[in-house]
Amino acid sequence: MAQAGEAKQIWVTLTGLPLTIELEWPFHRSTSGADFWVLHGDIRLENSDGLHAPVAVNLSATVREVVASLEPEDVEAPVINALRKEVDRRQIEFVKSGKLKPVAFSSRHYDFKRQKWVFGKASDAAIAEFLERKIYWGTKVSGQERVWVGDPTEAQYLETTAEHLVSIAERMAEDGLVRMEGEWAVATAGLMGQAEKFEAAMRTAVEELEKKHAFERG
């Protein structure tokens, strides 16, 4: 979640897209008679020409049974990660204006045996690449001097721990890409000088998304 003093919280996907996510709390019962709860929101693709995706997060009755409450402190992190995972899976299309896209927030994101949220375990190499992108976009788009590496929401998304994220960032510091201040990372010129790599990854991810949705439209 956003920390005090942050101008804008950037949520980077594993494919390299920088997003901001606005959620219109609280969840409310579906008015269609179906047994689920709905939360409206909007996912904005930063560093783009106003592209965004209005969404309706549909929380199933099965998931409602395992969450402590429908308040942000209990479900905001998995909702954000479920939305990011849908972007990773190219299920969400970014447009300049568009209709509300229903997104299932269901038991496929919850491991009942281990009683935890699961969004796919990332390798250390994938985590390092993710952190580079997170710190780059957090610095560029938000203008933050420091980016929070030990965010538990990110740990949940990557199926790791906040401590492990910090340890990988510390290895990046040894390579001169960041300077660490506890759980926070400050981008160096060495990282920001790789702008074309991060911008190219974003362009590729956007092109793949557009290609997929253009094919589905026929």
Per-residue pLDDT reduced to its tens digit, 161-178: 999 999 999 999 999 999
Query: What is the distance between the alpha carbons of residues 106 and 58, in angstroms, rounded to a whole number?
Result: 8
Average pLDDT, integer, range 116-132: 96
The reported pLDDT for the residue numbered 80 is: 97
Tell me how crowded residue 81 is: count the other CB atoms within 10 A of its CB: 23
- Spell out the domains of the chain, with CATH numbers in brackets: 11-117 (no CATH), 124-196 (1.10.10)
Q: How confident is the model at residue 4 (pLDDT cuts 50, 70, 90)?
A: very low
Token pair of 5, please?
Answer: 């003093």
CB-CB contact of 78 with 155 (8 Å): no
Token pair of 178, please?
Answer: 């960041």
Q: Is residue 104 exposed (0-12), middle (13-18) or buried (19+ Cβ within 10 Å)?
A: middle
The reported pLDDT for the residue numbered 7 is: 62
Average pLDDT, integer, range 131-157: 95
Q: Among residues of the chain, what percentage have pLDDT more than 70?
A: 94
The reported pLDDT for the residue numbered 144 is: 82
Q: What is the mean pLDDT of the chain?
A: 92
Average pLDDT, integer, range 106-112: 88
pLDDT digits (tens, 9 = 90+) for 21-54: 999 999 999 887 678 999 999 999 999 999 999 9
Average pLDDT, integer, range 90-112: 88
pLDDT digits (tens, 9 = 90+) for 196-210: 999 999 999 999 988
Lowest mean pLDDT among 28-42, 120-134, 147-161: 28-42
Tell me how crowded residue 124 is: count the other CB atoms within 10 A of its CB: 12
Question: What is the CA angle 38-44-50, rounded to 5?
Answer: 130
Question: Pairing state of beta strands 36-45 and 18-29?
Answer: antiparallel
* Residues facing residue 76 across a β-bridge: none
pLDDT at 78 over 80: yes
Q: Which is more confident, 144 or 42?
A: 42
The reported pLDDT for the residue numbered 218 is: 63
Query: How far, in Å, are 42, 76, 83, 168, 212 from residue 21 at the CA level?
Result: 6, 11, 9, 26, 22
Average pLDDT, integer, range 79-103: 91
Token pair of 8, please?
Answer: 């804008």
